[in-house]
């Protein structure tokens, strides 16, 4: 009963539109003596190079038997244009703050020493 099933890959875009990517029908032979045992099979599907930012969305895998279907949790994929530059300024801010604190520390020490004389 469970040896014939369909594996489907699809994605849902930001407008909640479902697009099928790939599907295949499988018929798995069960070796003698392995009947009525749980089996796990891996299926890898590699998505070809995504064409543009409209390919951003959540990608899913679903397996369907006659009366049952199981769906994965999905993987969110963010597609960026070629030449995209990440605008995170975390390191620049950290270095600037460190340099500023070092300069203020040196000036304060110099003023304290100068006032002491």
Domain boundaries along the sequence of the chain: 4-77, 86-116
Q: Please tell me the class of the 4-77 domain.
A: mainly beta
Nearest to 28 by CA among 62, 61, 5: 5
Backbone angles phi, psi at 45, to 5 degrees: -135, 125
Confidence of residue 117 (pLDDT cuts 50, 70, 90): low
What does the pLDDT look like over 70-81, one tens digit per residue? 988 998 888 777
Residue 97 sits at φ, ψ, to 5 deg, of: -65, -40
The pTM of the full predicted model, rounded to 2 decimals, is 0.57
Mean pLDDT of all residues belonging to the chain: 83
- How does residue 107 score in pLDDT terms, banded at 50, 70 and 90? very high
How is residue 10 written in tokens?
């699809």
Q: What is the number of alpha carbons within 13 Å of residue 48 lying toward its C-beta?
A: 3
pLDDT at 69 > cutoff 80 = yes
Q: Residue 96's pLDDT is what?
A: 92
Is pLDDT of 19 > 70? Answer: yes
């Amino acid at each position: 009963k469970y040896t014939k099933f369909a594996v489907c890959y699809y994605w849902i875009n930001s407008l909640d539109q479902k697009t099928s990517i790939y599907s295949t029908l499988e018929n798995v032979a069960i070796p003698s003596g392995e009947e009525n045992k749980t089996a796990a099979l891996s299926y890898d599907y590699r998505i070809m190079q995504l064409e543009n930012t409209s390919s951003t969305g959540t990608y899913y895998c679903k397996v369907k038997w006659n009366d049952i279907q199981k769906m994965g949790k999905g993987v969110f994929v963010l597609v960026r244009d070629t030449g995209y530059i990440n605008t995170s300024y975390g390191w620049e801010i950290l270095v600037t703050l460190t340099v500023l604190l070092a300069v203020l520390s040196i000036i304060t020490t110099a003023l304290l020493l100068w006032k002491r004389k």
